[in-house]
A and B are shown apart, each in its own frame.
Chain A
Amino acid sequence: MSASPVETQKPAKISVKGLRKSFGTNEVLKGIDAEVAEGEVVCVIGPSGSGKSTLLRCLNKLEEISAGHVIVDGFDVTDPKVDINEVRRHVGMVFQHFNLFPHMSVVENIMLAPVELKKASKAEARQQALKLLERVGLKEKADARPAALSGGQKQRVAIARALAMNPGIMLFDEATSALDPEMVGEVLQVIRDLADEGMTMVLVTHEMGFAKEIGDRVIFMDAGVVCESGPPAELFGNPQQERTKEFLSKVL
């Protein structure tokens, strides 16, 4: 890594300062400030189009950032001198549509990054991948193709793949939205286990009950800004903003 960690006063794992993001003339994020502490689980909720997925994708720079700063693990990802690939190795990401590699077996999906980035030999990577699969309850599917798995199984493999580089942060982008209802539980259980292990996580989710249960803090976003943020009991039990109340009355 070419740049040295930025001096911060609080030991925040993720720090977002004045983040703006536009697609053409459409400004999707209009100045976001937020922090995530080590071991904290933050759930981001809000209506469609509020910018919550875009915010998440800015955290590992899958979206170019228009203005502001995003500091992850002490590295400012908006600094062109920072090797974004190095930062991403410490930030696992899980997508709504799984995005498993269909031309590889389940275990090869998980081995890809450790082997290609020379973090492990093939044999070591396979051993580690099998352990991860065991953790998500899919060891027996190691040599199957993704096409042979159910949606819930695919998402659990995707989580195992995101964990393969041993990241300190996990990002979940509507990880259960594309699943049939009966498969949501198995995926949430894996996420719950990760939270219990103390993983720093940011989850964009529509599962309000789950957000309430698992989140240390909930951020409500609307129209590209953070509208309200606080512990789940407060935000769900006693929302302060009209917009929050309106939204919660629709989804709860």
Chain B
Amino acid sequence: MTRGLRTWPRAVIAAILGMFLLFGGAGAAMAQPADNGVEGKTFVIGTDTTFAPFEFRKDGELTGIDMDLVRAIAEDQGFNVEIRSLGFNAALQALTSNQVDGVIAGMSITDERKAVYDFSEPYFESGIQMAVAKDDDDIKGYEDLAGKTVVAKTGSEGETYAKSIAEEYGFSVKALDQSATMYESVKAGSAVAVFDDYPVLAYGVAQNNGLKTVSDKVPGGSYGFAVNKGKNTALLAAFNDGLATLKADGGYDKILDSYLADPTAAVPTTFVDLLAKSFPALMSGLKNTLLVTAISFAVAMALGLLAGFMKLSRNIVVRGISTTFVNIFRGTPLLLWAFMFYFGLPQLTGWDVSIWVAGVLTLSLNSAAYVAEIVRGAIQSVDPGQLEASRSLGLGYGKSMQKVVVPQAFKMMTPSLINQLIIMLKDSSLLLAIGFGELLYQGQQIYAANFRVTETLVIVGFIYFIAIMALTKLANYADRRFNK
């Protein structure tokens, strides 16, 4: 299957790639020398978050065909792997920027991708199948689709195939991003059928995702393991050797059978069961959400105060710097900066940017722009007579601001700052796009494996709601306590 670059248009990927080539020297330092072996080394492998049965989380652990395969090959070849569950597009970005050494993510080998990455021998032959809602007795084949809408994954072979027969059978194709959301839209009735990779469909059906398959498989693409073009050749060779060994000794078939022939039906059956099973993962997500928000807010406050005061400066250069900062971060989406810091920055500088650093930079710089405006507005709203009275006593400008103006401004800005904190806590969910393990990300991981999308989202939403209500109460209490 050809899963497209879902979040970023190809042109952007090409631009990033161009930047990489330009600054390529920095990244090269991280790569393995060409003719070294792999024995005893540790490689970072990027993968998707939500592509059962190839990769998904079961009881918090990453599992699936890809995971078992790459671990078995690593064991056979004597190297170690560190798996990073980033999301499909994010994993490819990370590969381009050398944040990871290789990617295994149910990725089809295509000519387009071969121009950018080096692929292993195919490790899985896929194909397309059509599925409908379990209780749907009307759609039995393509000929029943006339006048209806079907869904397929953006840029996938499922989409390509569905479009190729759409005119012949008179239906229209709508593209969505995730398997789980495609299945939901079929169950909800906004589409009558889904075209998806057969192993993914088969696994979902076995997990009671509420669908059934109604057509024969159409042969599709082959999946391969990828490394950056010209990099990690030893790793690629080792993958091929290990794959050959596994295929020869039957280990390969055993892995596939365990997911495809008899999928483990460990899906929670009741809401309480779902809640109990997902609770530990969601709590660890909540912990990350709260922690990244707390750190980012502290940084945002420091930067925002600084930028807010700079905006009030009489010096046009100082004021200009602050205004530029505020305009840039208010005028661009948060998500763009998440990608920029996590994928762009390492390519431009060669630095190793951890996901926490990228996450904190993203949230704090965005928020600091708003805090700066809140600070400036609050200081300007303090009666000018206050500063005059303090200055007339012989106190300097700095002392007067510190003792007289800022304390009053702070009292005025507190409600806006509490608001900003709550916005930041919610915005932190956007960091799931770079694979940061926050609350909503953990929720996605759970429903990607069990297909209980609505219930999982209800639980996640409830946790956010409780956390934010508690935070609001706490902040308002602090406001009353300290800002009398």
**A interface with B by C-beta (< 8 Å):** 60, 62, 85-89, 91-93, 95, 97, 99-103, 112-113, 116-117, 158, 161-162, 164-165
Contact = CB atoms under 8 A, between A and B. Distances in A.
B395 interface: yes
Given A102-B408, A103-B407, A103-B408, A112 B386 contact: no
- Which of A88, A99, A158: most chain B Cβ within 10 A? A99
Contact of B386 (A89, A99, A164): A99
Given A103-B407, A116-B399, A89 B388 contact: no
Interface in B127-177: none
A113 B400 CA distance: 10
A62 B404 CA distance: 17
A99 B388 CA distance: 8
B394 A165 contact: yes
Nearest to A109: B389
Task: Name the residue in A89, A100, A116, A164 with the highest tally of chain B Cβ atoms < 10 Å from its Cβ.
Answer: A116
A36 B463 CA distance: 72
A62 B408 CA distance: 21
Given A102-B408, A112-B403, A116-B399, A88 B391 contact: yes
Given A91-B392, A164-B393, 20 more contacts: A85-B394, A85-B395, A86-B394, A89-B393, A95-B385, A99-B383, A100-B389, A101-B390, A102-B408, A103-B407, A112-B395, A112-B403, A112-B404, A113-B394, A113-B395, A116-B395, A117-B395, A161-B393, A162-B392, A165-B394
Contact of B392 (A62, A86, A103, A116): A62
B403 to A, nearest CB: 6
A217 B392 CA distance: 25
Interface core residue of A86, A95, A101 (most chain B CB under 10 Å):
A101
Interface string B285-322: 00000000000000000000000000000000000000
A77 B177 CA distance: 71
B461 interface: no
Residue in A97, A102, A161 with the greatest tally of chain B CB atoms within 10 Å? A102
The contact size tier of chain B is 10 to 19
A165 B393 contact: yes
Nearest to B402: A116
A89 B385 contact: no
Nearest to B393: A113
Contacts of A60: 392
B396 interface: yes
A95 B388 CA distance: 9
A100 B385 CA distance: 9
A194 B258 CA distance: 97
Contacts of B404: 101, 112
Interface in B402-457: 403-404, 407-408, 411
B389 A95 contact: yes
Contact of A62 (B388, B399, B403, B411): B388
27 contacts: A60-B392, A62-B391, A88-B391, A88-B392, A88-B393, A89-B393, A89-B394, A92-B392, A95-B385, A97-B385, A99-B388, A101-B386, A101-B390, A101-B404, A103-B407, A112-B390, A112-B393, A113-B393, A116-B399, A116-B403, A117-B394, A117-B395, A161-B389, A161-B393, A164-B393, A165-B393, A165-B394
Contacts of A164: 393
Contacts of B396: 85
Given A112-B403, A116-B403, A101 B394 contact: no
> Nearest 4 pairs between A and B by C-beta?
A89-B394, A99-B389, A113-B393, A93-B392
A102 B412 CA distance: 13
A89 B393 CA distance: 6
A114 to B, nearest CB: 9
Contacts of B392: 60, 62, 88, 91-93, 162
Contacts of B386: 99, 101
B411 A103 contact: yes
A102 B386 CA distance: 9
Nearest to A86: B394
Contacts of B393: 88-89, 112-113, 161-162, 164-165
Contacts of A62: 388, 391-392
Contacts of B403: 112, 116
A100 B390 CA distance: 9
Nearest to B399: A116
Contacts of A91: 392
A112 B400 CA distance: 10
A133 to B, nearest CB: 17
